[in-house]
Amino acid sequence: MTFQKIILASIFCIVTFTSSADVLLIDVIQKEPVNSASGLLRPKNGQTMEHVKSQFGEPTKVYATIGEPPITRWNYSQFSVYFEHNLVIHSVVNKPKKAP
């Protein structure tokens, strides 16, 4: 009977530890707001590809769609936009290039 209690307590502890192991730190990535103090306007989450093109023009580079769900990246001179299917999921400010 005591052996069964020890086994049961061990299983309970293992389940408790594994159920809280996965944590995503997405907030850390999103340090720079969409309309930051620098005044750089970027696409907002949920906008369509068509809306981004109408507001910001054609991207300077379009990367091939990868993964499932499909993720596409568009580069503009000052920022990059990431889409899932045809909706914006994230936009980031590009690092300024160093002068030679």
Query: Could you read off the pLDDT tens digit of each residue along the chain, which spans 100 residues?
Result: 676 777 777 776 665 555 544 444 344 344 445 555 456 789 999 999 999 999 999 999 999 999 999 999 999 999 999 999 999 999 998 887 776 6
- Sketch the domain layout of the chain as residue ranges: 2-93
CB 34 within 8 A of CB 91: yes
Cα(98)–Cα(92) distance, integer angstroms: 18
Q: How many residues comprise the chain?
A: 100
Task: Check residue 96 and give its pLDDT.
Answer: 77
Task: Check residue 13 and give its pLDDT.
Answer: 64
Task: Check residue 29 and give its pLDDT.
Answer: 42
2-93 architecture in CATH?
2-Layer Sandwich (3.30)
Taking the whole predicted model, whether its pTM rises above 0.85 is answered as no
